[in-house]
A = this chain, B = another copy of it.
Amino acid sequence: MSGDSILTRHEYEQLLEPHTKELSDAARWIAETGQRLIVIFEGRDTAGKGGSIDMIARNLNPRQCHVAALPAPSPREQGQWYFQRYTQHFPSKGEITLFDRSWYNRAGVEKVMGYCTPQEAEAFLQQVPEFEKHLVEDGFLIYKYWLCCDQQQQEERFKARLENPRRRWKLSPVDIDSRTRYQAYTEARERMLEATHKPWAPWTLVDFNDQHVGRLTLLRDLLDRLPDTQLPYPAIDWPPLATKPLKEQFDVLKPIPNMQVD
């Protein structure tokens, strides 16, 4: 999944381990105290948004932590209030939403590729800090990550997607057009940071030239923004089973044979 790293997969997982422990404490704090956490993942194509989200989501209760990876808007959605289809995925109390791309599309791909007018992009940048401020005043926690990588890395990763059928779905037509607009994306990002990096909803840039290191860095940063709270679990009465443990018994249908693994 990740690719290029000074860390082997094994090393990465070893290093990740203690942080996932902390992540689960933080999730419990969110649940118990009724927080609402929004984490936005933006960045270069290929930088590693999906893998970072997966690192977090797979360690959490899917009924608490939702991933919002919205498809292109339908015609009716295109006519709606720009934020509308995103607001439907906001967390309720005790929940987490991880946005795989977000309303910041308007300041990035939509602006660079001309899917919105420059005026719309600029109006968006004016509005979004107030929009997020209202959410934060309402009690939301909003953290925004932008995943960086150099064009050399991006090219290699695009190439890998092009050549690897299993990753080919990750290569959209927009990606192909975006390939030659690295500089335009840089400029769009700088303008976006200028307008929307606010104390109440800060951006954090993370270097994802090394994806394993990038993920660990991002997770560490996120955890440092949340309180380090270990809420004790209530004791549960756990008497021994009254009878000998039962075995599966099959009548109507039997399990299929296990796959041969040696």
Contact = CB atoms under 8 A, between A and B. Distances in A.
B25 A165 contact: yes
Name the residue among A25, A75, A92, A140 with the largest chain B CB count within 10 angstroms: A92
A28 B80 CA distance: 18
A217 interface: yes
Nearest to A131: B134
Given A7-B261, A90-B81, A261-B213, A151 B28 contact: no
B81 A138 contact: yes
Interface string A85-115: 0011010111100001000000000000000
Interface residues on A, range: 35 or more
A33 interface: no
Contact of A6 (B87, B176, B203, B261): B261
Interface string A190-209: 10011001000001111100
Nearest to A240: B155
B170 A61 contact: yes
A213 B180 contact: no
A135 interface: yes
Nearest to A83: B87
A241 B79 contact: no
Given A92-B79, A255-B148, A165 B241 contact: no
Interface in A133-187: 134-135, 137-138, 140, 148-152, 154-155, 159, 162, 165-171, 176, 179-180, 182-183, 186
B79 A90 contact: no
A183 B151 contact: no
B69 A63 contact: yes
Contacts of A171: 236
B241 A193 contact: no
A241 B50 contact: no
Name the residue among A58, A176, A207, A258 with the largest chain B CB count within 10 angstroms: A258
The 4 closest A-B CB pairs, nearest first, are A79-B93, A79-B92, A151-B245, A193-B252
Given A62-B67, A81-B140, A151-B247, 9 more contacts: A28-B168, A28-B169, A74-B75, A74-B76, A80-B93, A83-B87, A130-B134, A180-B241, A206-B256
6 contacts: A24-B166, A24-B167, A79-B94, A84-B90, A88-B88, A190-B251
